[in-house]
Chains A and B, each alone.
Chain A
Amino acid sequence: MIRETTFEEILERYGKLVYKTKGVSMLPMLRQNRDLVIIEKPEGRLKKYDVALYKRGSKYVLHRIIAVRENDYVIIGDNTYSYEYGISDKNIIGVLKAFVRDGKEINIENKKYRVYVHFWRTVYPIRFLYKKIRGILGKIKRKIFKNT
């Protein structure tokens, strides 16, 4: 017997899942097809800065919780700029425990990792502004080139 299974089933059966990552939304921490994530089944509610694996429709998403609210979480990718609301514990399948980067396993308790998370969240307004300015400059540049 051979069949395709789901992340939920693997986590339910074995309590742990090791998988590659897809997409750029968790950059600079997780690089697509290069880094591995180690996910475990959550016990109880998640905490601020936990990285949650959850289902949005039929898609699996791995993003960071930045606020824990009574009925849901506020979630955002390290490389995205819009907050997601309305994801609650029933949508959450797993939580990141560690990741493997360049062959080195980094646990979420790791000090350097904690520093990265706090730094990256603190500079969010600067990152956001930088992205906006770059967008506006790009628009101006396109306009100038169009007129010449």
Chain B
Amino acid sequence: MKLKNGFITQNIDDTQIMVAAGDLQFNGIVRSNATAAFIVNLLKSDTTEQNIVNALYEKYDAPKEQISADVKSILNKLRTIGALEE
């Protein structure tokens, strides 16, 4: 899976702001904290849910189940705004 072309991210302070450019449907703005931004950045090239979980597991000292659940919820959020190419 991958972040759709046209979704643009920009970092302001410790927050990542994401908007859809061009004629993509999504007309809002999304705000991500550092962890979510890390996931969004991984999605800029083709990857899998498992790869994302592994990358986060290496980076953060947290139980894998917790990380899996967080990744799932963030991916779902991205799906609802149509930002993911599966």
Contact = CB atoms under 8 A, between A and B. Distances in A.
Interface of A: 1-7, 9-10, 13-14, 18-20, 22, 33
A1 B35 contact: yes
B75 to A, nearest CB: 10
Contacts of B29: 4-7, 10, 19
B27 interface: yes
B31 A5 contact: yes
A2 B21 contact: no
B12 A2 contact: no
A33 B32 contact: no
Nearest to A60: B27
A2 B78 contact: yes
Interface residues of B, number: 24
Given A14-B12, A22-B27, A2 B19 contact: no
B31 A3 contact: yes
B19 A19 contact: yes
Contacts of B77: 2-3
A143 B10 CA distance: 54
Contacts of A33: 21-23
Contacts of B30: 2-5
